[in-house]
Amino acid sequence: MEMDLPSDRPHGAAPAVAPANAPDLASWSSAREALQDIGWLHEVQTETLDALAAEALLHRVPAGSVLLEQAETPVFAQFLLAGSIELLGIRNQVETLIELLLPVDLVIPAAVIGDRPYLMRARVYEEAHLLLIRAEAFREAIASDHAFCRAILGRQAAQFRRQVRMQKNLKLRSAEERVGCYLVALFGQSHTGIAVRLPLEKRLIASQLGMTRETFSRALAGMAKFGMLIRGDVLHIEDAAAARARFPLDPLIDGPEPIKPFQDRKA
């Protein structure tokens, strides 16, 4: 039996793509309505949300589009409402994946808050639905509304903690351990006999795990002796207990840093 990945899995060693049933841009008739639906902004004053909405717009961006480049100065604060975005480090035309953003993340908020150049490129992985707020208005709201400031700090803190988890994964585990723990995190509490589709292209997984595609492929081939077999882009769990015993997860590396979902709308 093959299953799709749930959307609430850890953001550390095993990132997931945005859920297929992510809200469509048509779900919101206005930027104000989208702001109201972001659960972690529910304590922000109505006046602040109204002021932000007056400086905002909704934007749909197709897969493969570059949202922003390294060294550019932010014009907008960008809220990812649906889809997914790659954050990429670039040097001498070589790209490496730093992080995959999912709803409801902010796109490189530190640069917007500090009015500083972006340190990464942002490219749309799956069609993205964004709420764009003029950067100056975003900074003014942070300065004037304590609840909004606290909400933004909370989102930035969650994204920072995900980065710490990923750095610990890279520096404290061997390549084999990184791949094994990634796969164990993917199948979670599933039992032997289940098949799980990899959530990303192999090149992206390899990049996020800090290895070449070739090293990643060799490590995948070696997982068979631990009860995990990869055929194409599908993970077949042949011995879940053996896999968990060889690659135990660490809650301080593999634990979740969840982004709160949208609040349920009131009828």
Q: Which tens digits make up the pLDDT trace of 229-252?
A: 999 999 999 999 999 999 999 999
Q: Minimum mean pLDDT among 3-12, 39-48, 62-71: which range?
A: 3-12
Within a 10 A sphere around the Cβ of 89, how many other Cβ atoms?
15
Q: Which residue has the higher pLDDT, 11 or 145?
A: 145
Q: How confident is the model at residue 265 (pLDDT cuts 50, 70, 90)?
A: very low
Rounded-to-integer distance, Cα 126 and Cα 85, Å: 7
- Just give the CATH number of 25-170: 2.60.120.10
pLDDT for residue 6 is more than 80: no
Rounded-to-integer distance, Cα 186 and Cα 192, Å: 13
pLDDT for residue 13 is more than 80: no
Domain segments of the chain: what residues?
2-9+174-254, 25-170
Determine what percent of the chain is predicted with pLDDT higher than 70: 86
pLDDT number for residue 267: 38
Amino acid at 255: G
Within a 10 A sphere around the Cβ of 240, how many other Cβ atoms?
19
pLDDT number for residue 7: 37
Task: Quickly list DSSP for 155-194.
Answer: HHHHHHHHHHHHHHHHHHS-HHHHHHHHHHHHHTTPPTT-
Q: Minimum mean pLDDT among 7-11, 53-57, 147-151: which range?
A: 7-11
Q: Minimum mean pLDDT among 4-13, 42-51, 194-203: which range?
A: 4-13
User: Which CATH number applies to 2-9+174-254: 1.20.120.1200, 2.40.160.20, 1.10.150.20, 1.10.10.10?
Assistant: 1.10.10.10
Within a 10 A sphere around the Cβ of 214, how many other Cβ atoms?
9
Say if CB 135 and CB 107 are below 8 A apart: no
pLDDT number for residue 12: 40
